[in-house]
Amino acid sequence: MSDARLAAEPVGVLLERRRQHPLGPLLRLQGVGQALLFGVVAGGSRGGPQRLLSLVPILLLVAFRAVEWATTSYEVAAAALRVDSGLLTRRQREVPLDRVQQVDVRRGLRHRLFGLCQVTVDAAGSSGGEVTLVLSDAEATRLRAALAPPPGGPEPGQPGEVTGIDDRPEPPALVRLRPGALALAGITGAKQLVMLAVLGSALQLADNVPAGLREGVVDRVPRGTGWLVVAAVLALPAWCALAALAQLATDLGFTLRSDGAILQVRRGFPTEREASLALDRVQLVRVDQGLLRRPLGLVAVQVAAAGSGSTADAQVSRLTVPILPVGEVDRLVAAVLPGAAPLPELTPAPPATRRRQVLRRVVPAAVVAVVATALAWPWGLASLVLVPVAAGLGQLAYRGLGHACTPTHLVARRGGLGRRTVVVPVARTQSARVRQSRLQRRAGLATLFLDAAGRGNVGVAVDLPAEEARRLAAAATTAAAARADERALRR
């Protein structure tokens, strides 16, 4: 393809045809390429033909990447992102602009050294076919502006001028998290579970240490109850510090912005990631309040969108604000799901639910207590304390249940020690299900499931009055059908 053709801008093109950055082939030497390069460095002491021979695989891989770069180009046309590639067999991939699910930008340390980034464009309905390009920061800005024009600008698929640097003022930040808040998120959130994986890996490594060395270390460890207490006291802050560091590595610099059409998040160190999510694809919002966060008035908020089925699906369909004051939830929900905030006051579960929630926990606890008492008399009698504890947990679970339905959204809450609130736009549900167990039928209760697009995107309202559950399911189905008809008319 000639340079004149690359420079030409066809009629109806939003972004003229161009290639990736020339350093892209080197930055994409991952996996096998890095292993080969390490082998060359490790074998540097060899001389003569052996050293030259060790260079052949890495040179061939670099040559392959260079040919791939030279034969790959892209443009944003009036209706689709087009990527041409291939030397002997030419391939053209088109991603319709109205199907673009997310534009993800990743900057590792090697990218930052050269002012580059890796851009991944993912489309709804694709399967392992996302488009990945290595571009300069300026080119990435141009591409993102062409794929997702701002409100008031040219609509996707309509020709218009796309500048290299976005001259619009940056949208105000919806959420900006300081390092102290992120550290608290790690200490009070799921990063504590990451530490269990780290501990398990450390124990496995300890098994590989020679027995003599391991026994020598054990012999030098002080013994006694006092030392055990000291070790336990020191282990807790160390555990919390590691959890905080893990959260900081994932989300340092977390900034969430919205321009009214696109939700953009920037986070991470040393690898910085930028992701964008179209607001009209949001399927539900989850508000999680764990056991440690409830007394502090803190929550985590997850925005879930329709998954694409691609290898980038986990990044595409999930966007999580790791920590947020409860008082900020309405403002965030209003920006993500217009019309859903302020969240309505929830209707508590009917009294029949209390007995069901308590029995679901007391019966298994009583069985365990009876078995433990029979097997370990009389010490097993201590297990009887499980019964009142289970009854208390059932009471908390009952108090955590609640729901509300507006003309446009369903809000449902459940949980005992920790609580989860789900906000679902009823018009975006794929299906509605009502399920009744035998005990629920006797109590006149039912559980409502609203299935949204994307894996795991399910809104659940537990133990509603059966008639109300059926009414809400029918309303959700009607709203979803009306929205589908409206979209069909637009097409």
Q: Which residues of 160-189 are buried (b: 16+ CB within 10 A; e: fewer)?
A: eebeeeeeeeebeebbebeeebbbbbbbbb
pLDDT in tens, 293-350: 999 999 999 998 875 444 444 444 678 999 999 999 999 999 999 888 899 999 999 8
Indicate if 143 and 25 belong to the same structural domain. Answer: yes
pLDDT at site 476: 87
Indicate if 182 and 123 belong to the same structural domain. Answer: no
pLDDT in tens, 346-385: 999 988 899 889 999 999 999 999 999 999 888 988 999 9
- Per-range mean pLDDT, top range of 146-160, 214-228, 460-474: 460-474
Indicate if 153 and 182 belong to the same structural domain. Answer: no
pLDDT at site 153: 44
Q: Using CA atoms, how far apart are residues 412 and 374, in angstroms rounded to an integer?
A: 42
**318 in a structural domain:** no
Do 145 and 162 touch, CB atoms closer than 8 A? yes
Indicate if 212 and 96 belong to the same structural domain. Answer: no
Indicate if 149 and 185 belong to the same structural domain. Answer: no
Token output for 301: 């908020």
Indicate if 108 and 34 belong to the same structural domain. Answer: yes
Do 80 and 88 touch, CB atoms closer than 8 A? no
pLDDT at site 327: 93
Q: Using CA atoms, how far apart are residues 192 and 215, in angstroms rounded to an integer?
A: 30
pLDDT at site 229: 62
Radius of gyration of the chain (CA): 28
Q: Is the pLDDT of residue 32 over 70?
A: no
Degrees to nearest 5, angle at CA 468 with 467 and 473: 100
Q: Is the pLDDT of residue 13 over 60?
A: yes
Picking from 142, 167, 192, the residue at the C-terminal end of a domain is 167
**100 in a structural domain:** yes
Picking from 223, 251, 279, the residue at the C-terminal end of a domain is 251
**302 in a structural domain:** no
Q: Is the pLDDT of residue 44 over 60?
A: no
Mean pLDDT (the chain) is: 79
Do 271 and 253 touch, CB atoms closer than 8 A? no
Residue given tokens 């508000």 in the structure block = 287
Indicate if 98 and 216 belong to the same structural domain. Answer: no
**351 in a structural domain:** no
**455 in a structural domain:** no
**374 in a structural domain:** no
Least confident of 133-137, 208-212, 482-486: 208-212
Domain limits at 225?
178-251
Which is higher by pLDDT, 45 or 26? 26
**393 in a structural domain:** no
Indicate if 182 and 162 belong to the same structural domain. Answer: no
Mean local confidence (pLDDT), 172-190:
91
pLDDT at site 363: 93
pLDDT in tens, 205-264: 655 656 665 555 555 656 555 656 666 667 778 888 888 988 998 899 999 998 888 888
Q: Using CA atoms, how far apart are residues 304 and 453, in angstroms rounded to an integer?
A: 9
Indicate if 131 and 199 belong to the same structural domain. Answer: no
Q: Is residue 1 very low, low, confident or very high in pLDDT (cuts 50, 70, 90)?
A: very low
Nearest Cα residue to 65 out of 29, 41, 92, 31: 29
Q: Is the pLDDT of residue 166 over 60?
A: no
Picking from 167, 196, 221, the residue at the C-terminal end of a domain is 167
Q: Using CA atoms, how far apart are residues 163 and 172, in angstroms rounded to an integer?
A: 21
Indicate if 217 and 145 belong to the same structural domain. Answer: no
pLDDT at site 346: 92
pLDDT at site 467: 92
In order, the DSSP letters of 199-255 are HHHHHHHHHHS-HHHHHHHHHHS--SHHHHHHHHHHHHHHHHHHHHHHHHHHHTT-E
Indicate if 127 and 20 belong to the same structural domain. Answer: yes
Q: Is residue 395 very low, low, confident or very high in pLDDT (cuts 50, 70, 90)?
A: very high
Q: Using CA atoms, how far apart are residues 348 and 354, in angstroms rounded to an integer?
A: 11
Which residues pair with residue 414 across a beta bridge? 420
pLDDT in tens, 57-77: 767 777 887 888 888 899 888
Q: Is residue 4 very low, low, confident or very high in pLDDT (cuts 50, 70, 90)?
A: very low
Domain count, the chain: 2
**239 in a structural domain:** yes
Q: Is the pLDDT of residue 123 over 80?
A: no
pLDDT at site 87: 79
Indicate if 38 and 141 belong to the same structural domain. Answer: yes
Q: Is the pLDDT of residue 190 over 90?
A: no
Q: Using CA atoms, how far apart are residues 254 and 402, in angstroms rounded to an integer?
A: 32
